[in-house]
Amino acid sequence: MDHKLKPSCLRVALSVIATSVSVMACAPLDAPEPQSGEGMEFRYILAGDTEINSLQYTVSRPGMEQIVGEVSVGDSPHVGFYLAELAPGDDYSIFITAESANGLAVCVGQADFEVGAHAQRRVDVIVSCVLNEPPGGVEVGVDLNVCPHLTSVTVTPSEQCTGESIDLHAAATDVDGDPLSYRWQVDGGIIGTGASSAYVCLQPGTKTLALEVTDGACADTYAAPITCEACPGDPLPPECTECLAVNCVPEVFGIDVLELCPPDDFDCRAVLDCKLENECISPSLGSVPCYCGSVSNVTECADPNHAQQPDGPCKSIIEASLGTTHRPDVIGYFTGQDTGAGRAAIVAACMVNLCPEQCLAPRD
């Protein structure tokens, strides 16, 4: 009896799992192409309105014309279809793709398989889907705001001697009635807030004064140069300089105060001149009252929680020289040699202890 070699068929199974769509399929030899039932909609819902309605497959083998087709997808995540009349061989591949109707999901899967003579085989293909985020929307609300406008800026004077202050005043309007905030800066460092402020010249040179007024949404700005000059101040009385040169030296005082605070040390001399001009150096407390003022107890003066604020005549220039307004820091660094205010306090201490009559006599 003659036996003819019959082509084999392939049973393909596809399935869908959790976060991806997988597909599996199968059928007997000579099964018809899958058809949708009457009145039945074939779909698989991934999320929301993202549905896979069909999948496309391609079967390929070297030297063979590709077999392509489309299969409907039902409510179940399992899909089956049949491929018949395949010649025996072990070098087949099937590639499956699917895309959701809204374009948010793209699915792919692939498997290699072989076909045996007079045999029906099953191939499982996992088709994985990438679910993209759907497009979103944003509700845009627009509030109209008119920026503030600087109407005047007064800098008095624009040129000042070291140790002296430059007074700053500004005025601005806002047609929306928004509250305004001011920020004054010199060379990028904030020196004050509010419509009025002041800058104490410590070092000679030309500096950039900047002001910004803002309503919280937008701002108006101003910038101008200011000049601090090393003006010839009242020199120390000759008898004071002579006493300091004899007594305030390393052998007696532990340090040479005239070298510590020479005439060209504008930072130190500006603070020292303020202390001498205001005659605030105390025989018992040195120059601390020049900072503390009416707060006579030094411990209370250094306490940031104490209600009474320091109000000494040289408070601003001392804080500017030390670079801090924190009361404990001001008292703690009062005699540090790294700042002009600290060096001036050391000179004042020597004047109190060794040269009071020559240096601390009232000025005319």
- Average per-residue pLDDT for the chain: 82
| pLDDT at position 15 over 50 | no
Confidence at 77, pLDDT banded by 50, 70, 90: low
Backbone angles phi, psi at 188, to 5 degrees: 90, -10
Whether residues 267 and 207 share a domain: the answer is: no
Tally of CB atoms within 10 A around 157: 12
Whether residues 15 and 60 share a domain: the answer is: yes
Whether residues 266 and 199 share a domain: the answer is: no
Backbone angles phi, psi at 7, to 5 degrees: -60, 150
- Number of domains, the chain: 3
Whether residues 217 and 297 share a domain: the answer is: no
> Does the pTM of the predicted model rise above 0.85?
no
Whether residues 127 and 199 share a domain: the answer is: no
Q: Which domain holds residue 69?
A: 8-131
User: What's the CATH number where 62 sits?
Assistant: 2.60.40
Non-local CB neighbours of 248 within 8 Å, separated by 6+ positions = 255, 256, 257, 258, 347, 350, 351, 354, 355
Is the CB of residue 242 less than 8 Å from the CB of residue 357?
Answer: no
Which of 68, 40, 43, 72 has its CA nearest to residue 55? 72
Q: What is the DSSP string of 227-276?
A: EEE-----PPPHHHHHHHHHHSSTTTTSS-HHHHS-TT-HHHHHHHHHHH
| Helical H segments across the chain, by residue range | 238-247, 257-260, 266-277, 289-292, 298-302, 315-322, 327-332, 340-354, 356-359
Is the CB of residue 52 less than 8 Å from the CB of residue 46?
Answer: yes
Predicted local confidence at residue 46, as pLDDT: 57
What is the rounded average pLDDT of the residues 37-59? 60
Angstrom CA distances, 338 to 268, 312, 333, stand at 10, 22, 9
Confidence at 36, pLDDT banded by 50, 70, 90: very low
Confidence at 13, pLDDT banded by 50, 70, 90: low
